[in-house]
Amino acid sequence: MRSALRFLALLACAVVALQLFFVLRIACMLWLDPQSTAFERSQAWQRVQATGSLRWRQQWRDYDQISVHLKRAVIASEDDSFSSHDGLDWVALEKAWAKNAKAEDRAAQRAAQNAANAAKNARAPKVVGGSTITQQLAKNLFLSGERTLLRKSQELVLTLLLEKLLGKQRILEIYLNSVEWGEGVFGAEAAAQHYFRKSAAQLTPYEAARLVVMLPRPRYFEKLPNSEYLSARAQVIVARMGDARLPGAAP
């Protein structure tokens, strides 16, 4: 019993120490721009292992040096209540959970209807996320890509720390400078140069929307520059950008 209590005490101390480490790392980001994220390093390592070479395009741009159109497009597409929530969009999460539950029910019904071939033909239901921009940044900055309850719990803690310590504008600035936009292409400046041969400050509303549409599957869409889906979806985002509220803007 004493050994078990000692182990639990050490585990609790380790957890607290880890959270303090994250607090210090995030607090430093008030003044220091992060040079890389856990996701970027993971992608770079995978590429080196696969090809023996490292392709990494990234160039930091301050908040005011990034097109307002790109900021509006990201909020309109990824997180329309970004400027008002506390890091977690409970409505979006509830909708995602409900949609995932329905997908699981449909998968179970299909398996039951075809029990003989269920193991062979059953498809895993598509999981729909409800992550905010802050949650995405928390995951990319510090965490692995595994999907476990423990990792999700840590993501929520980091999300609240980011919101508390950095504020909306700094969160959006770091996000736009670190998000993936293609094979080894990270951040708004690298994406603007890679796809449009211009700086992130010069992006038009349509160009910004087109980049944002790529975000869920950037390496896939990088290979389909003339995709009709990209063009059509970008037009939808352009139409919604006028309603996107930027951090610090009046309601």
Note the pLDDT of residue 248: 77
H/E run at residue 181:
strand 180-182
Confidence grade of residue 98 (pLDDT, cut at 50, 70, 90): low
Instruction: Please give the torsion angle defined by the CA atoms of residues 20, 22, 28 and 32, in that order, rounded to the nearest 10 degrees.
Output: 160
Note the pLDDT of residue 4: 79
CA dist 53 and 47 (Å) reads 7
237 and 71 Cβ atoms separated by less than 8 Å: no
Report, as an integer, the average pLDDT of 101-122.
50
The reported pTM is 0.84
pLDDT at 146 over 90: no
Report, as an integer, the average pLDDT of 230-235.
96
Note the pLDDT of residue 51: 85
Model pLDDT for residues 54-70, shown as the tens digit of each residue: 889 999 999 999 999 99
pLDDT at 123 over 50: no
Note the pLDDT of residue 88: 83
Note the pLDDT of residue 112: 54
CA dist 82 and 88 (Å) reads 9
Strand partners, 86: none
CA dist 131 and 209 (Å) reads 19
Q: What angle do CA 63, 173, 58 make, to 5 degrees?
A: 95
Domains of the chain, with CATH numbers?
A: 39-86+168-251 (1.10.3810.10)
